[in-house]
Structure 1
Amino acid sequence: MNKLLSAGLAGLLTLTLALPAAAHTGHADGTGFLAGFLHPLGGLDHLLAMVAVGLWAAQTGGRALWMLPVAFVTMLTAGALIGMGGFELPMVEAGIAASVAVLGLLVVLNKRVSVYAGMALVGVFAVFHGHAHGAEMPAAAAPVLFGAGFILSTVLLHGAGIATMLIGRGVAKRLARPTAA
Structure 2
Amino acid sequence: MKKSILLAIGASVVSGSAYAHPGHDLQVGFASGFLHPLTGWDHLLVMLSLGIWAARRPAQQGWQLPVLFVSVMAVFAALAMVWLPMSLAEVLVAASVLVMGGLLIVKGQFSRGAQFSVVALVAAAHGYVHGTELGQSWNALGGMVLATAGLHGLGWVLGRQQQPWLKMVTRLLGAVMMGLGAYWLVA
TM-score (norm 2): 0.73
Root-mean-square deviation over aligned CA pairs: 1.9
Which residue pairs with 1:172 in the alignment? 164
- Show the counterpart of 1:21: 19
Give the gaps of 5 or more residues in structure 2: 1-17, 166-187
Tell me which residue corresponds to 1:93. 90
Instruction: Give how far 1:110 is off.
Output: 2.3
Determine which of 53, 56, 66 is the counterpart of 1:59: 56
Calculate the TM-score normalised by the size of structure 1: 0.75
User: Which residue, out of 102, 115, 118, partners 1:118?
Assistant: 115
Tell which structure's C-alpha radius of gyration is larger: 1
Counterparts of 1:30 and 1:113 in 2: how far apart (Å)? 39
Q: Distance in 1 between matches of 2:65 and 2:125?
A: 16
Q: Is the 8 A contact 1:59 1:107 kept in 2?
A: no
**1:17-166 mapped onto 2 (5 Å cutoff):** 20-24=18-22, 27-138=24-135, 141=137, 143=138, 145-166=139-160
1:9 matched to which residue of 2? none
Contact 1:82 1:131 in 2 (8 A): yes
For the residues of structure 2 that align with 1:132 and 1:44, how far apart are their CA atoms?
A: 14
Report the Cα distance in structure 1 between the residues aligned to 2:37 and 2:20, rounded to whole angstroms: 10
- AA of the residue aligned to 1:157: L
Query: What percentage of residue pairs aligned between the two structures are identical?
Result: 35
Q: Which string of whole-angstrom CA distances, capped at 9 and with x for unpartnered residues, describes residues 14-72 of structure 1? A: xxxxxx534245x4332111111011111101111111111110122322321110111
3-state SS in 1 of match to 2:159: helix
**Cα distance change on mapping 1:109 and 1:156 into 2, 3 Å:** same
**Would you say how many aligned residue pairs link Structure 1 and Structure 2?**
148
Partner-residue secondary structure (3-state), 2:59: coil
Detail structure 1 runs of 4+ shifted over 6 Å in the superposition.
Answer: none
Q: Which amino acid aligns with 1:91?
A: L
CA-CA distance at 1:109 after TM superposition = 1.2
Question: Contact 1:63/1:115 (CA < 8 Å) preserved in 2?
Answer: no
